[in-house]
Structure 1
Amino acid sequence: MRADRLLSLLLLLQNRGRLTASELAAELEVSVRTVHRDIEALGAAGIPVQADRGRAGGYRLMDGYRTRLTGLTDAQAGSLFLAGAPGPARELGLGADLAAAQLKLQAALPAELAARGRRLQERFHLDAPAWFRDADPVPHLAQIAQAVWDQRVLHATYRRWSGEERPRRALYPLGLVLKGGIWYLVARASDERVRSYRVARFLAVDTGSEGFERPAGFDLAAYWQESTRRLEDAFHQETARLLLSPRGRRLLPMQFGAAGVRALADAEPADPADPDGWVLVHLPVESRSVAVGDLLRLGTEAEVLGPPELRRALADTVAALAERYAESGCAGDGRRATITA
């Protein structure tokens, strides 16, 4: 285990440059004291690690030093063949590069590791988009990706979710995220705020000649996680109290995802004497109009107890549906087509 950790420490310093003991400890999930001992062990093994003191100090490798270590375990070699999803790579304009890189890697690996990589490719496949939904058209993705890589300003026209076309504006692209088969650009706008933009909604994109500096310490993964949490909090405007049948409990995660799973974790028996096993859950829901449509998908396997306004809105919708589908309305009233046998 320590040998693996020493190798990881060495590769961190080689790939990232100067790092503090605290940063290394966080990456390796060990104590700062352990990092100091590991640095000493690397030095004793002849690895030229330098310690820079002061506020901007840390550990780094001597200028010009690079390890030639190429040893890979079975699992590490196999993971490289799964690291690139061919669909997203193709959308980024890197499909041919990914295929060529995998061929070169396969040729460089020992026979047994190359065979393991081929078996993994034969047995595992990543299909990112969700079911029953076509992938977004992303004609500007490759150009946006190049601007992200080159740190070039984008001048873009964007269509908001409401259909409104926003005027051409300058964006400072910081990263791309693939979420559920949908590409998003994370970029800083001229007002210095960092926002997320759905790539399919870009109507026109031009790459400027001017570059820009990335915000110091910007972490794309951390930003996306926090942005996702804020979006979920904004969508969930109230909490519905539901009675669920046993079948309703199975449907809830399918209809409401992670929110449904969390709600079920805190479910309470509606009535301990109830032989049917109905439970009470508290489920965060979106705006009332959206919540009504979502909750109706549970059908008769759920009953909304509150808030009163939400229960009333559901009752009104169900009553309107009952009136529309009543047998006496089959002939239509001038607004609907006449149904004939």
Structure 2
Amino acid sequence: MRADRLVSLVLLLRRHDRLTADTLARELEVSTRTVLRDIEALSAAGVPVYAERGRHGGFALLPGFRTELTGLNHDEALALLVAESRRGAQAFGLGSALASAMLKVVDALPEHYRDTATGAAERLLLDPDTDLLARRHVAEEIPAAIVAEVRRAVLAGHKLRIDYAAADQDPQRRVVDPIGLVTVRGQGYLLAMRAGTDRTYRLSRISAARELPEPAQRPEHVDLDRVWQERSRRFREGGELVLVAVRVHPARRAELLGTAVQVRTEATEADGWLRLALTFQDRRHAEWAMWQLGADSEVLAPQWLRTGLRDRAEALLAHYRSAP
């Protein structure tokens, strides 16, 4: 809405003192022409925004236009600023809303809290895009219209019609009773019921969604964390999971456990290596995970996995034996 955008524009100028039209357009996700029209609207409404010409010019505000948000102590303000990590909000289609809200909160804080809390927030980082090995987290791309429709049905308590494609299958249309939304490592999930049976749908696999007027058949209150933990447990213990017995060097234990679905048993052998029984989602997942560890691991069972890793290694060796 334009009113929200005008407020965000004012708060951006208050926070950064001076910004160009191009920078404002990027921050607000609109065109430069729209920014210029918004500047004119603010001026007509009496907001003292003015343009500075020259190489380092841009738009700026005269001092003023501040309302203080009282009742927050320093730690509460810091918690709000640290919460600006957008990964979960993006998964639910709320990234731009979070950015706008944080601008309003920062601008409304009493000055002594704003300065100290903002400086402290610069020292804390949650969920960076890459880890220490430069492995990049790839966020799921979900059309905003689909996420918005799913979110509306969840919050309104209405039935939801979706076109959903399970792994390696064509999309199928189904009507579900939405319970809640969960985000895990940037991946969004819809928890729902279908014909009285628990269902979990990955948001990135929903190709179309529409909120229906009929009320959803669901509990009035829900402990979403408990529901997610229960469904996660059932997933780990059922389905087409693959059980693998391995030996692994202790230095690679964390990496292996980070890819497995579940660790069934673990013991330390005489040579210091670890012997584990683990489950993986399927054959492809198991072979990929063990291949990453190279000679720092040895698959003991099943035989098909040992054979698959051997064939991969022989193919790679043959490839590099040939002249470049």
Residue 26 of structure 2 corresponds to which residue in structure 1?
A: none
Amino acid at match of 2:277: L
Is the aligned partner of 1:197 residue 2:192?
no
Structure 1 contact 93–142 (Cα < 8 Å) conserved: yes
SS at match of 2:141: coil
Structure 1 contact 260–283 (Cα < 8 Å) conserved: no
Residue 320 of structure 1 corresponds to which residue in structure 2?
A: 311
Structure 1: tracts of 5 or more residues without a match: 1-69, 272-276, 332-338
Question: What does residue range 66-77 of structure 1 map to in structure 2 within 5 Å?
Answer: 71-77=71-77
Is the aligned partner of 1:138 residue 2:142?
yes
Say if 1:262 and 1:103 are closer, same or farther in 2 by CA, change over 3 A. same
Amino acid at match of 1:282: L
Alpha-carbon displacement from aligned partner over 1:195-218 (angstroms, at most 9, x marks no partner) = 110111111112222233531442
Distance 1:322 1:90 in 2: 40
Distance 1:153 1:93 in 2: 19
Is the aligned partner of 1:243 residue 2:237?
no
Q: What's the Cα RMSD here? A: 3.4
Residue 254 of structure 2 corresponds to which residue in structure 1?
A: 253
Q: 1:175 aligns with which of 177, 180, 197?
A: 180
SS at match of 1:118: helix
Structure 2 contact 86–98 (Cα < 8 Å) conserved: yes
Residue 102 of structure 1 corresponds to which residue in structure 2?
A: 102
Residue 301 of structure 1 corresponds to which residue in structure 2?
A: 296
TM-score, scaled to structure 2: 0.64
SS at match of 2:219: coil
Structure with greater contact order relative to length (CA < 8 Å, sep ≥ 6): 2
Say which one has the larger Rg: 1
The number of aligned residues is 248
Question: What does residue range 34-49 of structure 1 map to in structure 2 within 5 Å?
Answer: none
Amino acid at match of 1:175: G
Structure 2: tracts of 5 or more residues without a match: 1-69
SS at match of 1:210: strand
Amino acid at match of 2:223: D
Distance 1:213 1:116 in 2: 48
Structure 1 contact 81–117 (Cα < 8 Å) conserved: yes
TM-score, scaled to structure 1: 0.61
Is the aligned partner of 1:185 residue 2:190?
yes
Structure 1 contact 252–260 (Cα < 8 Å) conserved: no
Say if 1:303 and 1:340 are closer, same or farther in 2 by CA, change over 3 A. closer
Measure how far apart 1:303 and its partner are.
2.8
Alpha-carbon displacement from aligned partner over 1:245-294 (angstroms, at most 9, x marks no partner) = xxx21112113318699689x532x32xxxxx432422313355643442
Say if 1:117 and 1:145 are closer, same or farther in 2 by CA, change over 3 A. farther
Taking only the aligned residue pairs, the percentage that are identical comes to 28
Residue 160 of structure 1 corresponds to which residue in structure 2?
A: 166
Alpha-carbon displacement from aligned partner over 1:142-191 (angstroms, at most 9, x marks no partner) = 2211221222221111111122322x2212222111111111111122x1
Residue 285 of structure 1 corresponds to which residue in structure 2?
A: 279
Distance 1:261 1:253 in 2: 13
